[in-house]
Amino acid sequence: MQNQAFIVTGADRPDGRARAEFYIANGARVMLVGADYAACRRAARMLGQRAAALDADVSSAAGWLGVVRATLGVFGRIDDVYNDGSIHDPAREAGPSPC
């Protein structure tokens, strides 16, 4: 993983942050993306110079394009994406499934 570049979504939550920590511990560089940008920024500061945080909405194609462009701008490459981000609609999830 040395010098590879990863995008980690959901980096504002424990699973995504743990994955980012793993990548960095193994020599990678990581773009942290999550719904809570402030949490991603704090994590990036803690993880050091191999981490960067981005305020982005990955619920749309345009949002993803922005993440890709920003990551390429910072790291010059993208080797993989760890997509731990999600969108939940609790009202929909709580209802019965149609048969």
- pLDDT of 97 > 70? The answer is no
pTM: 0.85
Compute how many other C-beta atoms are within 10 angstroms of the C-beta atom of residue 17: 22
Distance of CA 10 to the CA centre of its chain: 5
Report the C-alpha dihedral over residues 47, 10, 39, 73, rounded to 10 degrees: 60
**Which domains does the chain carry?**
5-85 (3.40.50.720)
CB proximity list for 18: less than 8 A, separation 6 or greater: none
pLDDT tens digits for 13-53? 999 999 999 999 999 999 999 999 999 999 999 999 999 99
Structure tokens at 82: 């760890």
